[in-house]
Amino acid sequence: MLFGRSIRVNFLLKLIVTMATLVLITSFSLYIYIRYNSNQQIESTLTKQANYLLENYPNLEQALQDKKDLLKNSVDIEAKIEHAPYIHYKPKFFRTIKIDNKYFIQGFFPYKFRSQDYLLLTKNITSQIKLENIVYRGVIFANIVSLIVIIIYAFVLSKMLIKPITFFSNKIAKMNENRLSKLDTKFLPKEFEPLANSINQLIAKIENFIYYKKELFIGAAHELKTPLAVMKTKSQVTLLKKNKTVDSLKSAIEQNIKSINDLNEIVESILAFGRAEGAQFEESKEIDIIEYLNTLIEEFEIIAIKEQKYIVTDISPKSLKISIRPMLFRHMLQNIMQNAIRFTPEGSKIYVKSYIYKKQFIIRVKDSGAGLPENFDVFAPFKRTKTSKGTGLGLFLAKSAADSLGAKIKLENRAKKSGAVASIIIPITSHI
C-alpha cells in the first residue's frame, strides 16, 4: 500500500506543478496576445485620424482649436501640437501612460520636422484596460477550474492504475522458487491483461528453467557417480585378487580409463551448458541468417561426409536480415544437427529445409534414424534412448538456447519413413 501511495503522491505533485506552470504560461500568453491586438487596432485608428487631420487642414493649429470639442465628443480623442525637443526624431511612435488611475495611449506624428513639433493624439483606454483585466481574470479562473478537474480526474485515474500495479508488485514480491504461481487475471482491467499474460509466461519459463536446472544437478550427480563407482569397484576387486596378473591389472586400468573418459564427456557437457548460459548475455546483432545458416551447414557437411552420411539442403529465401544472438543460434542448431548426424545410418541422407511462414523463420531437419520413443521427455537433461551414445544434454542445451531466443523447438517422428523431424521456429518480427 505504501508503494502505491508513494507513486500516486509523486504523480499528483508532478501533475500539479506541471499544470500550474501551464496555467500561468497560457494565461499570460493569452493576455499579451489580447493586449497587443487591441493596442494595434487603436494605433491603427489613431494613425488614420492623424493622416486625415494632416492632409485636410493646412492651418492645423487653428483647426485643432476650433474642432477640439468635436474631436472629443465624436471620436473620443484629444488633439494638440506638442513641441518635444526632448524626443529623438522618429517617424511616429506610441506610448501608454497612467494618470490618476486612468490609462491613455498617445500617438506622436511628425508635424514640423525642424522645430520638432508633433501632432499628439491622446485616447482614453481605461475601459479597455479594465475589460482586458476582466478577460484575463476569467481566463485564469477557467484554467484553475480546469486544473482542479484534471487533478481530481488524475487522482481517480491514478488510483485505478496503481491498484493493479500494487497487485503485481505484491504478488511478485511474495514469489520464490518454491512458491511460483500464475497471476489471476479475472479481476484485472482489460488494459492490464496483456501485461499479466506476459508475466504468467515469464513465470512459466522460470518454473521450467528451475525444474530443468534441478534435473540437471541431480542428473549430473547421478551420471558422475556411476563411472566413479565402476572405477572404485574395479580397483577394489583387482586389489583383492591374490594372484594379480598383468592382464587383470591391464583390464582394471583400461576400465578406469573408460570411466575417466565417460567422466570427461559428462564434464564437457556441463561446461557446454555453462558456455551456453554465458551466451545468453551476448548482444543481439543484425545478420543475414541465411548466409550464417549456410556457413554452419558447410561445417556439418564435413562431419557427415566423414561418417559416410549426406546432407541435402533446400534453403530459402535467398537472404533474410534478422537481429539475433549468433552464439545461441549456433548452440541450438549445432545440437539438432549433431543428433541428426549421430542417429542417421551410414549411406543415408539428412534433409535441411528453411522457409518463412506467418512471419516466422522455420528450419526443419529430417534424419533417417529410428525415431523418437513414445512418452519420452527428450528435452530433460541426461535423458537418453537405448541407442544413444551421448550424455543426454544436447537437446536440453538446444531448448535452453531456444527459450533465451524466444524461439521454439519441436520434435516429432516422420509420418511415412523412419526418423525424426526437428523444427526450429524463430519469430522474425522481434529482436532476439
Q: Which residue has the cell 481517480?
A: 156
Residue-level pLDDT at 258: 78
**Dihedral of CA 389/393/394/395: which sign?**
positive
Give the end-to-end CA distance of the chain in Å, rounded to a whole number: 36
The helix (H) or strand (E) run that includes residue 108 is strand 102-112
Main-chain dihedrals φ then ψ at residue 321, nearest 5 degrees: -85, 130
Residue pLDDT tens, the chain, 432 long? 444 456 556 766 777 777 778 777 887 888 888 888 888 888 898 888 888 888 888 888 888 887 777 777 777 888 888 887 666 656 788 888 888 888 999 888 888 766 778 888 898 888 888 888 888 888 888 878 887 887 787 777 777 777 777 777 777 777 766 667 777 777 677 777 777 777 777 777 777 667 667 766 766 666 677 677 777 777 777 777 767 677 777 777 877 787 787 777 667 766 666 665 555 556 788 899 999 999 999 999 988 998 899 999 999 999 999 888 888 888 888 888 988 898 889 999 999 999 999 889 999 999 988 888 777 777 766 666 655 665 666 777 788 778 878 889 998 888 878 888 999 999 886 444
Residue-level pLDDT at 2: 46
- Distances, alpha carbon 292 to alpha carbons 155, 325, 330, 331, 398, in Å: 54, 12, 9, 13, 17
Residue-level pLDDT at 1: 46
pTM of the full structure: 0.49
Residue-level pLDDT at 387: 59
**CB-count burial class (<10 Å; 0-12, 13-18, 19+) for 306:** exposed
